[in-house]
Amino acid sequence: MMNNFISKDTQKANILIVDDESMIRDLLENTLARTGYSCSFAEDGAKALEMISGQTFDIVVTDIDMPVMNGIELAKKIKSKFTADVIVMTGQIHSYQYDEIINLGASDFVEKPFSPREMVLRVNRVVRERNLKLEAQKAHEELKDSYIDSIHRLVMASEYKDEDTGDHIVRIGEYCLLMAQKLNLSEEYKETINYAAPMHDIGKIGIPDKIILKPGKLTFDEFEIIKTHTKIGARLLSKSKSKILQMAQEIALSHHEKFNGLGYPNQLNEIDIPISGRITALADTFDALTSKRPYKDPYPPEVVYDIMKKERGKHFDPDILDIFISNFDQFIEIRGKVGTFEGEAFQDYMLSERDQTS
């Protein structure tokens, strides 16, 4: 009986059946629906792609030889844009290589004619594998979030030890994510720098509080001690297999380098400075200028704008600074959402921005 093949996961799986033969569509729909799957159908690849664009499907079962758009092209497009798994069917089995079909993005390859039992077993297997992948991904994300949370707590312990510290590290991640988006960097890079950049000052855990919290100007010797936090941070984050911590190490070491080579600790210049360091240097400077510190009050936004613009090609990468200047209000918006602005100048600026957009 068909009920013997019902998977505990089928009730939650949505399947799209794609075939230009109505008899095959009806057979598959009846077979899979009786097994517990929720089924929809399309008569060609173009219609299927339109449906996938507006609705979430877990599995797409498609014929290869169809008008308008064949199953091979459909599988390629699904693999490049969507998360559904694809099972390909064909009555011309000798015209295609199994490895070729799988490499194009299919999860399985079924020969026509097929028995209902065979198709149910194939679909059940793909659903089980899909669910296992999703569970593993969820577990990985939960572990990563817990791991990053622990690192951020350590960062907070190493920072300024004031009430704004938690907001500061969140803002740095948000600024760097925004810049990575504007630079059209990869999705993986965006996620990595969002997690890694907040660890830029982790080396300050090795700097005495009396120096970090000093309200006045640092002496030459005190500043030399402060500068060592870059190398301390890099050592703390070294020898990790995690891409996040590898980038965090890179940022910790390079975020005080300057584009003109006058930064520290290694006096790197221009593209010798990792792009993660160049991005974080700008983000950290912007946040420092707009924040209250033991040694200074925040600068008004228009003053911050002018200060940073003058550092084009000096402190900052010209291309990165130009993007920052073009999107200045978005950076200010992040600054306003995470934490609080201090001083009348910031409040007046935000009110004027609100009035202009209301």
Beta-carbon count within 10 A of 349 CB: 19
Strand partners, 16: 40, 60
Greater pLDDT, 327 or 69:
327
pLDDT-derived band of residue 351, with 50, 70 and 90 as boundaries? very low
**Where are the domains positioned within the chain?**
2-134, 159-357
CB 253 within 8 A of CB 230: yes
**What average pLDDT does the segment 198-217 reach?**
87
Q: What pLDDT, on a 0 to 100 scale, did the predictor assign at position 207?
A: 87
Pick the CATH number of 159-357 from 1.10.260.40, 3.20.20.10, 1.25.40.20, 1.10.3210.10: 1.10.3210.10
pLDDT-derived band of residue 4, with 50, 70 and 90 as boundaries? very low
Please tell me the pTM assigned to this model.
0.63
Could you say which architecture CATH assigns to the domain 2-134?
Answer: 3-Layer(aba) Sandwich (3.40)
**What average pLDDT does the segment 288-300 reach?**
84
Q: What pLDDT, on a 0 to 100 scale, did the predictor assign at position 179?
A: 98
Q: What pLDDT, on a 0 to 100 scale, did the predictor assign at position 350?
A: 42
Distance CA 246, CA 237 (A): 7
Mean pLDDT score of the chain? 85
Report the percent of the chain where pLDDT is more than 70. 85
Q: How would you label 279-298 residue by residue, b for 16+ Cβ within 10 Å and e otherwise?
A: bbbbbbbbbebbbeeeeeeb
102-156, pLDDT tens digit by residue?
Answer: 777 788 888 888 888 889 998 998 998 888 888 888 887 887 777 777 776 777 6
